Amino acid sequence: MSGEERNIRLCLAYDGTGYSGWQRQPEARTVQATVEACLKRMTSEELTLHGAGRTDAGVHALGMVANFHTRTSIPVHGLWRGLNAMLPADIRILKVQEADPRFHSRYSATGKAYRYDLYTGPVQQPTRRLYETHVPCRFALDPVLRCLALLRGTHDFSSFEARGSRNPACTNGRGAVRTLFHCSCTPGPEPESWSFRFLGDGFLRHMVRNLVGTLLLVARGQMTTDEFSTVLQARNRSLAGPTAPARGLFLEQVFYGPLP
């Protein structure tokens, strides 16, 4: 509790299987609370870890970013080693850096990249079951690609937002309007596996999972590209498809500064 105040930026990865998501909640095992508890033990300070976003229960992260303010004198390498020694094996700290005092993991972010992994064959490899969603189906790629082309750009994504989830304090007055710079669907590493990727300036609650759930209707021939376009324009959640399961979703990266 002695030195100058420092702003420390963490990049971390986690297997979301055993967590009720990122955000601290009473009586639930969450990633934020788990990392905060280790930081409090190391620094003997009451501190808050600010995450770049709130992943849901079961969602994984390959490159979440978070920051906290502290007066500890422990060097960044010591924080990195100490956290990885104390944390459970399903959370790993990839990087610890000193950050500008004004850096905030959420408000400074310029974009995020999510991946959603899917397996459409008849029987899934058990070693993949926690990291890709299994939907045995015929998967028609062409109409999916046409829908992804419609999604690129700036839209009101209300149709793909979880009901009753809007927190006006978090949206900076932009409502449900977000920009998707990149969206793709490519074959995954195994036959009949697929990876969706979305790069945007921000994402509404459940947005990626609702997009994937609706695109799956298109892939299976249960919704046409025209109907998908209507859903997007309608700004009405009840027209879109179901929310795809959490296990296939990965927060890949959070961007600060110019996007790729």
Residue from 129, 154, 174, 236 touching a second copy (CB under 8 A): that is 129
Q: 232: closest CA among 192, 193, 190, 180? A: 180
Q: Please, what sign has the CA dihedral across residues 76, 79, 84, 85?
A: positive
Q: 70: closest CA among 60, 61, 57, 83? A: 83
Interaction mask 47-76, a second copy, x per CB under 8 A: -------------x-x--------------
Residue from 84, 97, 195, 225 touching a second copy (CB under 8 A): that is 84
Residue from 6, 7, 15, 23 touching a second copy (CB under 8 A): that is 15
Q: 6: closest CA among 104, 81, 73, 65? A: 73
User: Considering the complex, what minimum distance in angstroms separates the CB of residue 71 from a second copy?
Assistant: 26
| Dist CA 67 CA 8 (whole Å) | 5
Counting contacts by CB under 8 A, is residue 33 touching a second copy?
A: no
Q: 95: closest CA among 119, 66, 136? A: 66
Nearer Cβ to a second copy, position 39 or 87?
87
Q: What are the tokens at 99? A: 């950050």
- Which residue out of 56, 90, 117, 142 is catalytically annotated? 56
**Burial class of 252 by CB neighbour count within 10 A (0 to 12, 13 to 18, 19+):** middle
User: Considering the complex, what minimum distance in angstroms separates the CB of residue 28 from a second copy?
Assistant: 19
Q: Is 56 a catalytic residue?
A: yes
Under rule CB under 8 A, which residues in 215-254 are in contact with a second copy?
250
Q: Under the rule (CB under 8 A), what is the footprint of a second copy? A: 13-15, 60, 62, 84, 89-94, 123-127, 129-131, 189, 250
Q: Which residues are catalytic?
A: 56
